Structure 1
Amino acid sequence: MALDFNGRVAIVTGAGGGLGRAHALALAARGARVVVNDLGGAVDGSGSSATAAERVVEEIRAAGGEAIANAASVTDFAAVQGMVQQAIATWGRVDVLVSNAGILRDKTFAKMDLADFRQVLEVHLMGAVHCCKALWPIMNAQKYGRIVLTTSSSGLYGNFGQTNYGAAKLALVGLMQTLAQEGAKNDIRVNCLAPTAVTRMTESLLPPDMLQAFGPEAVVPAMLVLASDEAPTRTTLCAGGGSFEAANITLTHGAFIGAGADAPEQWLARLDAVRDRRGEMVPANGSEQGTNELRLLREGR
């Protein structure tokens, strides 16, 4: 069954190049009307220009699609609200958000300025929050929404020199976990995408033999699935070079140790057993950790 976005309206942030451009072009090619958002800044977030977004709009229109450009900074909630209203005024609805805008300010934690830490959080985390907040009442009212948040292996698993980026990217997974639960009653499905792709943000980080195989286009299929009518929810998909995986935050079976005076020593002695991944689970929500601990308590008694 072909994924069809006819009649859908999508906002793609950071869509002036790289992954965002590929996402916008693919959505438009399958019938979506697209708001191409891009501040037009440098990789570190400095500067701004609407030119990048306008070029992608021209590409979409030249291929017979519908698109409009928007140069709002996702760090500015009022500007994001204006972008959403621009989409509503033009097409009457917004069905899909692909939150892709991001910057890099890499340094080891010892050398990183706190301003650079904070700004990366502002763009990646608060930028996504602003977009979701502006769209949430609209998606609830129309009882339909698809939100794709761009996380990263740096957030899921860590990456040297990227404490700011990794913290922001894993925070997006936490945002997804609860938004997916709150949006379920109105068919708002919220997912994360962890891409491995060669873009201007990553080209200096990847080895030469990856440059061709790991283009942004190889990530697009996962985005289309997560943005589609048939999308899952509360799912983190990883994609790169034509391969796809799913990432989960799991909970081990655990062990009952109690809270006696020797509990720390017991913990240390049984740490390997507590960390044993056999029988681990993916909790349906945060309360399942407590449910598991209550089960262990009752069994331990």
Structure 2
Amino acid sequence: MDQPLQGKVAVVTGAGRNMGREEALALAGAGAKVVVNSKHSADATVADIRAMGGEAVPAVMDANSWAAGEAIVATAVEHFGRIDILVNNAGIHRPHSIESMTEEDWDAVVDVSLKCYAATIRFAAPHLIAQGDGGVIINTGSTSGLGHLSVANYSAAKEGVAGLTRTVARDLGKYGVRCNMIRPVSLVSDLLLPELVEAGAESRRRGFPSNGVRDFNFPKDFTPDGRQVAALVLLLCLPQAAHVSGQDFFVMGEEIGLYPEPEMRKLLREPGGWTLEALLRSETLAGLLGDIPNRYLA
């Protein structure tokens, strides 16, 4: 391909290594100037982009606060004069079952994996609106948001990203700015922590829904490759996806999927409003609760 993003400026958080690094490289390869955010490895990714003839600058800081979000976006505007693409990729794991999770575990994960997404969007949005030529926001969710053992903090943060994405798509759609979410499975060995592997095994023993990735029970031939995730990110930045916003994508290895927006399965109406007595009627119980399987209780 030519460089379809020539003249565009992209910000990628969590871009020092792994998937975020591959996303930054892909955007640079397509012609974008890139702000590489990472606390520890931003300079290495910037060097790789410059070595391939691209333009990039680092934003060396933790992506975990409103102030960080503002500073990351400011780096793009100060160095390149604008921002066109924002890829929120930063995230951390602190897996514990909910009964042993600490407040620090909760806050650390939510701050990086959700709060700073809102912050970067908050400070990018005025620029995207003022520029008047649209813009692209891509948020990194996770299938963990659909429910996985021992990651309540991460699950809450990542499913918060889903709601954030749908709302931002509605808020900014009138300005031509589109916002989508991806749920990538491109974990590498240092993220496949023993706690997560054991949680996946327990999920399978108890017959919980697989949520598309078999609770960390990856296929034997599965090779994590951030480049495949980066290809989807790149597509969502191109004119071919100009009509796509508020959507929820899955990507793992050779598979790409699209989740539907949540829809109500059932709707019962009671003239005059519901009382406990009305809810306890046998036909109401059957209609409301009758086909719900007991999946979660021992």
Unpaired stretches in structure 2, ≥5 consecutive residues? 198-215, 293-298
Q: Cα distance 1:164–1:59, how it changes in 2: closer, same or farther (>3 A)?
A: same
Q: In 2, are the aligned partners of 1:72 and 1:80 still within 8 Å (CA)?
A: no
Determine if contact 1:10/1:95 at 8 Å carries over to the other structure.
Answer: yes
Task: Provide closer, same or farther for how the CA distance between residues 171 and 207 of structure 1 changes in structure 2, counting only shifts above 3 A.
Answer: closer
Q: What TM-score do you get using the length of structure 1 for normalisation?
A: 0.81
Aligned residue in 1 for 2:143: 153
Structure 2 distance, partners of 1:224, 1:210, is 28
Counterparts of 1:270 and 1:60 in 2: how far apart (Å)?
58
Q: Percent identity?
A: 31
The offset of 1:90, in angstroms, is 1.6
Q: 1:147 to 1:7 in 2, by over 3 A?
A: same
Q: 1:25 to 1:151 in 2, by over 3 A?
A: same
Cα RMSD for the two superposed structures: 2.2
Instruction: Tell me if structure 2 keeps the 8 A contact 1:238–1:247.
Output: yes
How far is 1:72 from its partner? 2.3
Deviation at 1:224, TM superposition (A): 1.2
Shift of 1:189: 0.2
In structure 2, distance between residues paired with 1:167 and 1:247: 18
CA contact under 8 A between 1:74 and 1:130: conserved in structure 2? no
Q: In the alignment, does 2:223 pair up with 1:223?
A: no
- AA aligned to 1:36 is V
Task: List gaps (5 residues or longer) in structure 1.
Answer: 41-51, 276-301
Q: In the TM superposition, what is the alpha-carbon distance from 1:81 to its structure 2 partner?
A: 1.9
Residue 18 to residue 149, structure 1, CA distance change in 2 (3 Å): same
Residue matched to 1:286: none
The residue number in structure 2 matching 1:134 is 123
Cα 1:76/1:251, change in 2 over 3 Å: closer
Q: 1:137 to 1:190 in 2, by over 3 A?
A: same
Measured in 2, the distance between the counterparts of 1:74 and 1:130 equals 9
Runs of at least 4 residues off by over 6 Å: none
Query: Residue 38 of structure 1 aligns with which residue?
Result: 38
Whether 1:249 aligns to 2:239 is no
Q: Deviations over 1:134-171 (max 9, x none)?
A: 1010011012210001000000x211110000000000
- The DSSP-based 3-state class of the residue aligned with 2:87 is strand
Letter matched to residue 129 of structure 2: N
* 1:79 equivalenced with 2:91 (yes/no): no
Q: Distance between the aligned counterparts of 2:56 and 2:42, measured in 1?
A: 10
**TM-score between the two structures when normalised by the length of structure 2:** 0.82
Deviation at 1:114, TM superposition (A): 1.8
Query: Per-residue CA shift, 1:94-148, capped at 9, x if unaligned?
Result: 0000000111100111111122112211111111011001101001101221000
Aligned length: 263
Provide the C-alpha distance between the structure 2 equivalents of 1:191 and 1:271, rounded to a whole number of angstroms.
Answer: 33
